[in-house]
Chains A and B, each alone.
Chain A
């Protein structure tokens, strides 16, 4: 394996682009802070904090999905992804950073008692409202803050432990006994992450962070829906980085076979997302109960109609039709296009999940949203590249690596 490039050198263009994106984002943030954040107009304030919320939550969940991918693959003793596992690891190093931003934003919203965003923060309203009163054991600032802090710290910690054990595969070849122990230990560590992931992303955290914006409304599909959305976007992000690294001449051990399987994940989880989207929508549509349809009323019939259907078009129809063919999943250009499209589509999905509830009357998608997006994208590019450059690109003594090299679909 002498010809394998193990050290990633960050190209100048990548740095330039990421600094430029962060710069644009920073400018947008500053300008937005003065025109919106400090504005006396409630709508502008809600727009400001809402935009920060859905961007930071989206990117935290998407980067965390990379660690979820590593952990369930480890748990299933999957070998095919070993040749590019360092990409997923590098993406997951962003969880503490984006998680920290999310923490700051959510803490500010909750501690400043911004009841225009979380209605349940309004103690007077809750006292008069039997529904909110019934939920107050869960929807209260103390629990929100403890659970959010715990969530992000444990994601970061368990993720860190997973990345640490992966470094052991860089040191020396393992004999059968060491390799077996290594596998078992990896599985135990991934188990911790997976259980915590199930308790958070697949249930409580979307309820707390997103669904509680519509404090009266609830849907049992909501957490899975959020999970599916962030996971498919996470796979798209992994695909995008894999394609980028291949283009730059790294990741020699990964090829179209590996891309094909990443593409299958993107395809399958786009369908899974649609399944959850539809299950949530159809049950509410069929039952037609006012307290449930309130969520969809302004999305399907109001100002958010174009975005609502654009969301379905980008995230369901495009992957279904374009990614269905085997040759499409093995085509680097098409996969790059689809990965960007899916990431954008699920960003729009998060947009309508948050802003659709905060600003029901009009769609405010504009310079501020894209500015904040550019900040997060720039930061993501820079930090993933840095973290990739800080470690060897291949876990070269990983017991499953050979199986990954000869992987064939």
Chain B
């Protein structure tokens, strides 16, 4: 829960955004994130983000589901409580496959949704700072976190020269908090740095 200084550059078009991302990265700044109104193809590559491991997690959850189902059903039907069902063998694999499949899907689906929420820090009541309210509407908002070495004024100039329609320096909550958006609105109402 720490407040940090961010430089925010807003772009109104994708085709301006992409070269700007390239320029900002080439100048050595580390982009925290770009908030876009919709999923932009190729932006993750342009930002140099590594591929998500969500699918690997999904595979592991799925295998866990399969293993749970196989071990549970086979133990129940062959050891714990063997039943004669229609003269079928106790180890009746074809009959189990639908359940094994369902449990695999259930584990993978629930596990992946929860992992996704965890990775994106999403949960009921969890709030995060919005760098620009129009990021959910029609503006592409690039956020760069300042370090001690960052010269914010230079960075703002760089963003402007690369076509940012609006720039801003904000001191904001870096992580998430639990509660309401009052804290966020306060930041909006009294911008620490006006430009």
* Residues of chain A having any CB pair with chain B under 8 Å: 278, 281-282, 285-286, 288, 324, 326, 408
The 9 lowest CB-CB distance pairs between A and B, nearest first, are A282-B94, A408-B41, A285-B94, A408-B42, A286-B95, A278-B97, A281-B94, A282-B97, A288-B86
Contacts of B94 in A (CB 8 A): 278, 281-282, 285-286
Question: Chain B's nearest CB lies how many Å from the CB of A290?
Answer: 14
Question: Chain A's nearest CB lies how many Å from the CB of B100?
Answer: 11
Are the C-beta atoms of A282 and B41 separated by less than 8 Å?
Answer: no
Contacts of A278 in B (CB 8 A): 94, 97
Question: Chain A's nearest CB lies how many Å from the CB of B42?
Answer: 6
Q: In the complex the two chains form, what is the Cα distance from A195 to B41 in whole Å?
A: 35
Question: Chain B's nearest CB lies how many Å from the CB of A135?
Answer: 29
Contacts of A288 in B (CB 8 A): 86-87
Are the C-beta atoms of A282 and B95 separated by less than 8 Å?
Answer: yes
Contacts of A281 in B (CB 8 A): 94
Query: Which B68-122 residues have a C-beta within 8 angstroms of A?
Result: 86-88, 94-95, 97-98
* Residues of chain B having any CB pair with chain A under 8 Å: 41-42, 55, 59, 86-88, 94-95, 97-98
Question: Chain A's nearest CB lies how many Å from the CB of B111?
Answer: 17
Closest B residue by C-beta to A409 = B41
* Interchain Cβ contacts within 8 Å, total number: 18
Q: In the complex the two chains form, what is the Cα distance from A77 to B86 in whole Å?
A: 50
Q: In the complex the two chains form, what is the Cα distance from A278 to B101 in whole Å?
A: 12
Q: In the complex the two chains form, what is the Cα distance from A285 to B94 in whole Å?
A: 8
Question: Chain A's nearest CB lies how many Å from the CB of B101?
Answer: 9
Contacts of B97 in A (CB 8 A): 278, 282
Question: Chain A's nearest CB lies how many Å from the CB of B70?
Answer: 16
Closest A residue by C-beta to B42 = A408
Question: Chain A's nearest CB lies how many Å from the CB of B90?
Answer: 15
Contacts of B98 in A (CB 8 A): 282
Closest A residue by C-beta to B56 = A325
Question: Chain B's nearest CB lies how many Å from the CB of A260?
Answer: 14
Question: Chain A's nearest CB lies how many Å from the CB of B97?
Answer: 7
Q: In the complex the two chains form, what is the Cα distance from A408 to B41 in whole Å?
A: 7
Closest A residue by C-beta to B45 = A408
Closest B residue by C-beta to A288 = B86
Contacts of B87 in A (CB 8 A): 288
Closest B residue by C-beta to A281 = B94
A selection of 8 A-B contacts at a CB cut-off of 8 Å is A278-B94, A278-B97, A281-B94, A285-B94, A286-B88, A286-B95, A288-B86, A326-B55
Q: In the complex the two chains form, what is the Cα distance from A286 to B85 in whole Å?
A: 10
Closest A residue by C-beta to B51 = A326
Q: In the complex the two chains form, what is the Cα distance from A278 to B88 in whole Å?
A: 17
Contacts of A324 in B (CB 8 A): 59
Q: In the complex the two chains form, what is the Cα distance from A138 to B95 in whole Å?
A: 34
Closest A residue by C-beta to B59 = A324
Question: Chain B's nearest CB lies how many Å from the CB of A278?
Answer: 7
Contacts of B88 in A (CB 8 A): 286
Q: In the complex the two chains form, what is the Cα distance from A350 to B100 in whole Å?
A: 28
Q: In the complex the two chains form, what is the Cα distance from A246 to B41 in whole Å?
A: 25
Closest B residue by C-beta to A286 = B95
Question: Chain B's nearest CB lies how many Å from the CB of A365?
Answer: 26
Question: Chain A's nearest CB lies how many Å from the CB of B49?
Answer: 15
The winner among A281, A282, A324, A326 for most chain B CB atoms within 10 A is A282
